[in-house]
Amino acid sequence: MIPKLYRRVALVTGGARSIGAAIADGLAAAGAIVVVGDLAESPNHRSIELDVSSEESVVSVIDRIVADHGRLDILVNNAGIMFEKHVADQDRESWDRMMAINVTGPMMLTRYAAPHLATSGMGVIINISSLEGNVCNPDHAAYSASKAAVQGLTRATAIDLGPETRCNAISPGWIDTPLNASYVDSHPDREEVVSQLSKLHPVGRIGSPADVADVAVWLASDESRFVTGQNITVDGGRTIRPPLPPIIG
């Protein structure tokens, strides 16, 4: 049986670790030729150094991939940063850096990849947003704003690049990433934290990077050929369950 993404060329930004690495692995397992664009080197896939906040770096990476492989079929805009800062203390410098990496980077990659995606048959762009594009934790004004912008960019891209290219976003919930694990590990009763987090999810557990990767592979494939401009929430049902006070819940 021919893999569903056989010989398609994919660029995964921020693909050296965590969710990005799982997506890169998933695309490769489905038959894609995967190139990771990251400031770190991927242990499993060809890596090209990429600073998504630099237009020169973006252009160079896109040109190298097309020169080496003759095409580009799939773009996964996964690279991003997160920091915590109260909106009343939010400084312009860190705000601009968040937007440069989380929003402007995906826009520039989309711009320069678009001509190549359009000639690949049906190009695919997958943007990694977050639940915080719709809801927000304290001190996450910049992050939440950036992820809401990613969802808006996704819809606009689907309209502007259709019918040659489809564009969708994935909004992960609580995923077992190194960042989230550090929060859990810092608590004196780690097992209780994991238990309570699991109870927030109707599926009974927190997510894994593979849960996000499986959705990305589906979106990259022809199985989702009539899906574009959508934001797909991958959160184990967490956001459909309104919270209750501990005394009731």
* Contact indicator for 164, 122 with CB cutoff of 8 Å: yes
The pair of three-digit structure tokens given for residue 245, joined into one six-digit string: 């006070």
Cα separation values, 194 from 153, 168, 198, 249, Å: 34, 31, 6, 17
First vs last C-alpha separation in the chain: 49
* Contact indicator for 227, 155 with CB cutoff of 8 Å: no
Q: At what angle do helices 141-161 and 92-99 cross, to 10 degrees?
A: 30
* Contact indicator for 84, 37 with CB cutoff of 8 Å: no
Closest CA to 64 of 40, 79, 46: 46
The pair of three-digit structure tokens given for residue 76, joined into one six-digit string: 């996964």
The pair of three-digit structure tokens given for residue 238, joined into one six-digit string: 């967490």
100, amino acid identity: A
Number of H helices, E strands in the chain: 8, 7
- 143 has catalytic annotation: yes
- Determine the Cα–Cα distance for residues 213 and 58; give it in Å rounded to an integer: 23
- Determine the Cα–Cα distance for residues 247 and 239; give it in Å rounded to an integer: 20
Q: Which residue is catalytic, options 6, 112, 143, 183?
A: 143
Active site residues: 143
